[in-house]
Amino acid sequence: LSGLVYGLLSQRLSLVQTAIVGAFLTSLGLITSVLISNIWWMTITLGLLHGLGSGTMSVCVQVFVSQNFAVYRGIAHGIVNTGPSISAFVFPILMYLLTSRYTFEGSLFLLGGILLNLIPLSTLLGEHFTVPQKNTPQINGSDRPITFSDKMRRKKAQYGTQKDLSSTSESKPRVLKTAGEIFRAPVFYFLFVSWLAMYLNLDIILTTVVDFAKDIGTPESKAAALLSYFSIMDGTGRILIPLIADKNLVRRSTLWAFDFLVVGILVATLSSVRSYKILVIVIFPMAAAMGCSQSMFGVLLADYIGLDRLSVGYGICSMIGAPILLLKPLIIGYFRDTAGSYGDMFCILAGLQIMSSCLWFGVLLAERKHYTV
């Protein structure tokens, strides 16, 4: 819902002001959780307040990156998205040190105080680093229908950065109108299905890979190390692989289509893995490819639906996809407890990835046909 919250706030507030609101809610959710002992109220403070705040901040950062980078948008998103991979190493250690000294409640209070630093940091989103470009028109998708050829109309000369396209009132359409425009765009449904397949694969595999490793006879200490390996390769893939498209070696949509195909093949391979060494060999490229797909989603969403529709697009994906993603524990539990293994589950997840890849190959053919005509 944070994308829709951002869309509503952006009607009256600037990007910086919206980010400050998100930063304040993020910190407030943690600090107020210390004063509450009831789980239902904590659901509101830690779940609703903190969740909406952090989500709004995340959307603000994604919008800022998309507004300020044109061709190098992929690697820019990749650098921003390495935060979760780094936090996988830093946060557990930090939380352990804080709880051992200040108890859990005190640790939440301190983390809330640390997150208050996001408020002054949010003012940096008001800085726009632009590079003059000769004979390069700005891209503004709010006044035209969304088509498969939107991306083709951007000149290859658009390297570096571009101006903020949401500074005027004309570039801030109403949320409901924007949502209607997005729903009328066929390419958005391809983006949404791919987004859903991507997060189902990522979350379920991260949740089950240690358990799967133990099922094939791996000691628990080695199995736990897979998460560290995954985080390292995931962060590497987020930064390096999008550079292939940013350097115009391939188009962004082409890279995404092949990326999904590679992930699908590797996930399908998991069902037949029976040794730890082979599992590590499969995990390395799979994690890198998954990291790339996460970075490229925001890039393609901006390319195909326009910068002014970006926040609402995030919100729609989250609002529709959240109920489906909440089924992940049931899916994992069924294959673990009823089916007795994760093999069939990996095959289904692989099928989702390959189906998404096929959808994007269809988009590529449609774009190629339109471009040649």
What pLDDT score was predicted for residue 195?
94
What pLDDT score was predicted for residue 48?
85
Place of tokens 């603000």: 60
What pTM value is reported for the model?
Answer: 0.77
Cβ pair 227, 209 in contact under 8 A: yes
Residue 38 is encoded by which pair of tokens? 């009831």
Closest CA relative to residue 259, chosen from 369, 360, 344? 360
Distance CA 342, CA 244 (A): 34
* Region at 144 (left for phi over 0; alpha for psi -120 to 50; beta for the rest): beta
Distance CA 354, CA 347 (A): 10
Closest CA relative to residue 354, chosen from 283, 266, 254? 266
What pLDDT score was predicted for residue 89?
74
What is the torsional sign of CA 112, 117, 126, 301? Answer: negative
Mean pLDDT by 10 residues, the chain (373 residues): 66 83 92 84 85 85 82 82 77 83 88 92 76 42 42 38 40 72 92 94 93 92 88 90 89 94 96 93 95 90 86 82 88 91 94 96 86 52
Distance CA 28, CA 49 (A): 7
What pLDDT score was predicted for residue 260?
97
What pLDDT score was predicted for residue 151?
42
Distance CA 53, CA 115 (A): 11
What pLDDT score was predicted for residue 80?
84
Cβ pair 256, 191 in contact under 8 A: no
Cβ pair 311, 257 in contact under 8 A: no
What pLDDT score was predicted for residue 147?
44
Closest CA relative to residue 58, chosen from 129, 128, 12, 6? 6
- Collapsing DSSP states into helix, strand and coil, what is residue 212? helix
Closest CA relative to residue 251, chosen from 164, 183, 149? 149
What is the torsional sign of CA 212, 214, 220, 226? Answer: negative
Distance CA 365, CA 168 (A): 36
What pLDDT score was predicted for residue 135?
44
Distance CA 276, CA 267 (A): 15
Residue 151 is encoded by which pair of tokens? 């991306």
Backbone angles phi, psi at 67, to 5 degrees: -75, -30
What pLDDT score was predicted for residue 7?
65
Residues in the chain: 373
